[in-house]
Amino acid sequence: SYELTQPPSVSVSPGQTATIACSGDDLQNMFACWYQQRPGQSPVLVMYQDDKRASGIPERFSASNSGNTATLTISGTQAMDEADYYCQAWDSTTVLFGGGTKLTVL
Amino acid sequence: QVQLQESGPGLVKPSETLSLNCTVSGGSITYHYWNWIRQSPGKRLEWIGYIHSTGNTGYNPSLKSRVTISMDTSKKHFSLKLSAVTAADTAVYYCASALFNGGSLYFDSWGQGALLTVSS
């Protein structure tokens, strides 16, 4: 079955730029979106339709989708950004999720 | 933005049918697609399926034979039934609203999640 692949973990220093990748063979033909999940909480939509920021999401969050890789970028990363991040796409019949990336801010 | 709240038994025996409900408040039930998503103890998210107020449904092919999603628009709630459960179905179950827009589908609101354990 088709899968989206994410790195299990990414580390970043406060104030630096964090980049989280999501790869899939046909991802360039789909729209990608991203969710943030803090410990003990439900996922929250961060980015949708490749590069659109969801309501209430800070401008330091951005995203792109090119080739077979979608990328979430967090500029000026803050301690509050430490969370799990999941990519997701729709292949016209099924919802696909990546395995999630734990972002550590240290 | 809509709010969603799951409710369910918490514990189900192997081979039985899991039933969960989701109550929608704070918005119209006719615009969104209403979904069930689960998250295993290993934390991977898995989409189960959706229903629209028109009755249109879509299911994850890997679960389709065991899943039924239904909706009561007058009461603004929708339900999940998953039959023949095993320990592998132990997870946090979320209900979520989704928007279809220009070929994309994304989940704009999530419930708080309901832990369901399959055990005898």
A82-91: per-residue pLDDT in tens?
999 999 999 9
Query: How close is the nearest chain A Cα to the Cα of B69, in Å?
Result: 15
Give the gyration radius of chain A's Cα atoms.
13
pLDDT at residue A93 is higher than 80:
yes
Of A48, A84, A97, the CB nearest to B47: A97
**Residue of A95, A97, A101, A103 to mutate when probing chain B, most B C-beta within 10 A:** A95
CB contact under 8 A, B58 and A43: no
Q: What are phi and psi of B119, to 5 degrees?
A: -160, 150
Query: Is A89 within 8 Å of A33 (Cβ atoms)?
Result: yes
CB atoms within 10 A of CB A67: 8
Query: Is the Cα torsion angle B23, B24, B26, B28 positive or negative in sign?
Result: negative
CA B33, B36, B38 angle in degrees (round to 5)?
A: 145
> What is residue B30's predicted lDDT score, i.e. its pLDDT?
85
Chain centroid, CA A101 distance in Å? 8
Do residue B113 and residue A97 have CB atoms under 8 angstroms apart? no
Which band of pLDDT confidence, cut at 50, 70 and 90, is reported for residue A1? Answer: low
Query: With contacts defined as CB-CB under 8 Å, which chain B residues touch A65?
Result: none
Q: Which of A44, A54, A86 sits opposite B45 (nearest CB)?
A: A86
Say if residue A78's pLDDT is above 80: yes
